[in-house]
Structure 1
Amino acid sequence: MPQTPKPAPKLRDQLHAIIRTKHYSLRTEKAYWYWIRYFIRFHRLRHPRDMAEAEVAQLLTWLATHKNVAAATQNQALNALVFLYKHVLQQPLQHIDGIARAKKPRKLPVVLSHEEAISVIAQLPPPHRLIASLMYGAGLRVSEACRLRIKDVDFNLHRLVIRSSKGGKGSHPITAVVGVSL
């Protein structure tokens, strides 16, 4: 009995395999898949293999002019499509330089003084106060604070072990202010 050839893996499965191999985060995978599907639907279900730079530019222009998306959103869509063409389809976009990345508007951040930050933290109820103190003292992101476990806190060395952190950083020192309150 002759064997029928296996069908090529679906685009979603190919993307998943490559992103896992490159150790991208699950959130990045979900975001990239969202934009790839958006791109395909925007161009009336044409396969990305049948499209190129012009269609990518059309989508990005439409997002900016009709959907008024933020610069970061527009850049995320571009990054997803560049990844798709370069790593999944292995057809790198040739004239990617012609597609301008959206510029983020510069805003001055509102920064609290040390005293103001301590005052705000002091107003929080006990479990939230500890979390806010750790975030402030160690410079944690919300997602990093949510993943903390008791075994991640080293009281002797005043360090936190941060797992799956952005940028692959493994640990953060706890400042003296937070270390004292622990």
Structure 2
Amino acid sequence: MVAKFIKFRVVEPEKQDWIRGYEAAARYQKREGDLEVPYEHLEGAYPLGRWLSDQRRALRAGQMDGKRAKDLETLGIVWDTADAQFAENLAAARAYFAEAGTLAAPRHATALDKPVGQWLTNIRKADGLGEDPVRAERRAEQLTAVDKEWNPAVLGWSVDWQRHHVVLKALLDDGALQASCPG
């Protein structure tokens, strides 16, 4: 922190807002261990969540100095929060699939403390994987790698039908139905 202080205040003087934002981010990161800051979060009186959002926007627009980007990366900023959130939810979907054998989860289903059922319901909607077609295709491929039938509507049937199909298949695979059926 001392080296950063000297760098910002003596060697490379910066705008006061940048310094306040960076220092607030450093305090948050030291206390929380990450920079996953909600947009509305205030660090003291400083609007840190909004400031970080502004920094992401500046980077995307090509308006951020490379040193600033590097300094924020050192603190652990996540530049694309949508992809980071998708990755967390995808991990929860994998955990759910490992247990249930399907991604046809009911809305109330959770995995890894994430509302995976509601998330899957949302991403099955139009533009649920994002408006960018390249990003949406990449996300669909990641979901298909977990469960090729993750979006039953595309295949022509409902999520409810998919759930029943998975249960029936499991019963057949286990031989439970064959053992209970007469001769």
Q: Which has the higher strand share?
A: 1
Both proteins in one fold, TM over 0.5: no
Q: Which has the higher helix share?
A: 2
Where on the TM-score scale, by shorter chain, does this alignment land: which range? under 0.3
TM-score by length of 1: 0.26
TM-score by length of 2: 0.26
